[in-house]
Every structure is written in C-alpha cells, then in structure tokens.
C-alpha cells in the first residue's frame, strides 16, 4: 500500500472551506472496496467524509487518480440535478502532490447506518418499505441523468469487440476469443428491442446493502460509494439492485428472493412514468436472470468467467440448494 499522511487530512480539507476552518478528524475510519473513508467534524456540527483510494489494485498513479476522477465527475453531474440521495461534492485533489500525499475527495457525510439485509431481517412490511424506496431511487436516478447516446446494441457490441481484441492479444487472463464470440452471439437474445433506442443514464454500479444508508426507521438517507458508477444504456442502468440478484448462478430463485422481487416490481408498476415502464419491462421478463447476467458479463470480468464456465446458461439446482 502506498504511503499517505492521514494526520494532514484536516489541514488539506480546510482549503475547501470559504472560512478556512480546520475540522477535527474522527478517530474511526472505514474501508471500502477502493477507498478508505475518514470523517471530519466542524464546529457548527457539520460533518464531511474524505475518500482516499488507497485500495485500488494498481501501481499506476494515473489509474488511481482516474478512479477518483470518475467518481468526482459522476457526483458533480448529480449535484446539478434533483437527485437527493447522493453525497454533495465539496472538493477534490487529483494529485499525489498535496498535504496528504495521495489523491482525495471531500463529500457531505450521510447520517445513518448501512442497510442490514438478510433472508429474515428486516421483516415485512419493513422489507417492502425499503424495496419501494430503492425502486424510487433507481427511477429518479435514471430520470435525472437520462440522455440520448445512440443504440444499446452498438454500445454493447463495442464492449465485446474491445474484449475480443484484448483476448486475442492475451491481455484478458482466463477469457478466450471463443468466450467473446459466444457472448456476442447471445447479445440479440438478451436485449429488449423495445429499449434499443431508450436513453442512457447513470448506473450506480454497486447498489448493495453496504452502500444504502438508512436511519432507525429504515428510511433511506443516502447512497454512498459511486466509484463504479457510469452512464450506460437503460437496459443496464435499470437492472436489479445487487441484493435482488442471484447470489449464486443457480435457478430458481429462493422463495424470499421471489417475494422481494414481487414487492420491488409492484412498486415500479405503481408509478406511471416512462422510466417505471422501462424498468417494469426489464424485471417482469421470465428470463430476467440470464438476461441480467449476460449484460453484466459485458462489464464484469468475473461474471464473464463464471458464465463462460457454465456454457452461458444458468443451471437448475436441487430444492435443498435454493429453498429458504
């Protein structure tokens, strides 16, 4: 891990304040997939989070800076919209030549705790309340960031063609050229023709319980960790949140997951917006899981490898493998 100077965080953060106030650094820190997160507190009771991408798996400074740059760009775009669940961006230092000696970003602190989500906790009807909020968050995110960028098939074809070149050059460990050809053959089968020319929109990229912050009443107070967010076709932006996807690539879904999805889809169908109709179409398909997994494999090397090993099919397990 590269060296950074956490003791200099407060002085570095003070430069983003008009009054130059130096905050107090909270003793506790949190580690995410790519960043270590610190909390700083100001005299007026306001708190900020400071994200430092020390866990990015790369020795390239440009790559590390690029990770933070991408998240900054997404949050700045969201800051210009009516999307209320993202943290506010206060400032960034996209260089190693600063007081911390590492790139960092300062955001508003979102109060609450990460959502606890197991097959039994929270119980219904609280469970359905959370699902309805998540559906609303996804719909609002698409509505606030949608823009026309062309056809979905062309977008995904470009991704596959890029992988074909890299696989041919031996730059995709474990993924063969044939894997990429097999993937491309499936593209027409998993895309929804009705959404071919639907807009692109921001997809959070990791809408998992750890990134969903709730208060004691299970009201969602915010969504954190936008490091994997990107603007993609609505067929991907409107996908199932992480905790409604198959945890193992085995069908059928567990009974709890089936009930969760029913509540989520019912919430979508209770809205009359065009975005809600797009998402309802995606999630009401009887083959939603294979469609989702194949599209996920376009952007996820891990999913690509798993599906290739399964012959690009989802196997059916015995009842004891999936019943709750």
Write the CATH number for 80: 3.30.200.20
Q: Are 18 and 118 members of one domain?
A: no
CATH number at residue 229: 3.90.1200
Q: What is the pLDDT, as a whole number, of residue 80?
A: 97
Beta-bridged to residue 47, according to DSSP, are: 41
Q: Are 141 and 38 members of one domain?
A: no
Q: Are 98 and 119 members of one domain?
A: no
Beta-bridged to residue 16, according to DSSP, are: none
More reliable by pLDDT, 318 or 310: 310
Q: Are 173 and 233 members of one domain?
A: yes
Q: Are 118 and 105 members of one domain?
A: no
Chain-centroid distance of CA 109 in Å reads 19
Overall pTM > 0.85: yes
Q: Are 190 and 261 members of one domain?
A: yes
Report residue 318's pLDDT band, with 50, 70 and 90 as the boundaries. low
CA distance 237 to 23: 37
* Structural domain ending residue among the three candidates 109, 127, 146: 109
pLDDT digits (tens, 9 = 90+) for 50-88: 999 999 988 899 999 999 999 999 999 999 999 999 999
Q: Are 47 and 196 members of one domain?
A: no
The sign of the CA dihedral 239, 224, 135, 137 is negative
Q: Are 248 and 134 members of one domain?
A: yes
End-to-end CA distance of the chain: 41
Q: In the chain, how many domains are there?
A: 2
Q: What is the pLDDT, as a whole number, of residue 201?
A: 98
- Indicate whether 34 belongs to any domain: yes
Average pLDDT over residues 27-56: 95
Beta-bridged to residue 125, according to DSSP, are: none
Per the structure, the complete domain to which residue 36 belongs is given by: 6-109
Q: Are 118 and 84 members of one domain?
A: no
pLDDT digits (tens, 9 = 90+) for 148-182: 999 999 999 999 999 999 999 999 999 999 999 99
Closest CA to 165 of 186, 157, 294, 188: 157
Q: Are 204 and 262 members of one domain?
A: yes
Q: Is 143 exposed, middle or buried (0-12, 13-18, 19+ CB in 10 A)?
A: middle
Average pLDDT over residues 307-314: 96
Q: Are 11 and 160 members of one domain?
A: no
Q: Are 93 and 130 members of one domain?
A: no
- Indicate whether 1 belongs to any domain: no
Average pLDDT over residues 26-55: 95
């Amino acid at each position: 891990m590269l060296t950074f100077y956490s003791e200099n965080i407060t002085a570095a953060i003070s430069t983003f304040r008009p009054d130059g106030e130096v905050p107090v650094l909270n003793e506790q820190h949190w580690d995410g997939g790519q960043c270590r997160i610190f909390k700083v507190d100001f005299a007026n009771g306001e708190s900020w989070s400071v994200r430092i991408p020390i866990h990015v798996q790369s020795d390239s400074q440009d790559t590390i800076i690029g990770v933070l740059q991408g998240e900054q760009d997404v949050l700045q775009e969201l800051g210009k919209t009516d999307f209320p669940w993202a943290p506010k961006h206060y400032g960034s230092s996209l260089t190693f030549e600063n007081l911390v000696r590492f790139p960092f970003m300062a955001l508003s602190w979102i109060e609450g705790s990460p959502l606890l989500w197991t097959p039994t906790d929270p119980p219904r009807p609280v469970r359905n309340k959370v699902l309805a909020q998540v559906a609303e968050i996804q719909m609002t995110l698409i509505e606030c960031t949608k823009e026309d960028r062309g056809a979905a098939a062309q977008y995904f074809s470009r991704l596959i063609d890029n992988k074909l070149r890299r696989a041919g050059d031996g730059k995709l460990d474990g993924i063969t050229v044939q894997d990429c050809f097999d993937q491309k053959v499936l593209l027409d089968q998993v895309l929804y023709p009705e959404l071919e020319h639907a807009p692109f929109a921001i997809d959070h990229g990791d809408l998992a319980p750890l990134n969903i912050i709730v208060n004691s009443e299970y009201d969602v107070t915010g969504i954190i960790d936008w490091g994997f967010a990107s603007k993609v076709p609505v067929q991907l932006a409107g996908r199932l949140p992480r905790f409604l996807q198959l945890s193992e690539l085995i069908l059928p879904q567990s009974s709890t997951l089936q009930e969760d999805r029913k509540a989520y889809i019912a919430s979508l169908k209770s809205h009359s917006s065009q975005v809600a109709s797009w998402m309802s179409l995606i999630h009401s398909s009887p083959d939603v899981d294979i469609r989702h997994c194949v599209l996920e494999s376009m952007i996820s090397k891990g999913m690509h490898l798993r599906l290739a090993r399964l012959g690009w099919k989802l196997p059916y397990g015995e009842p004891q493998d999936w019943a709750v």
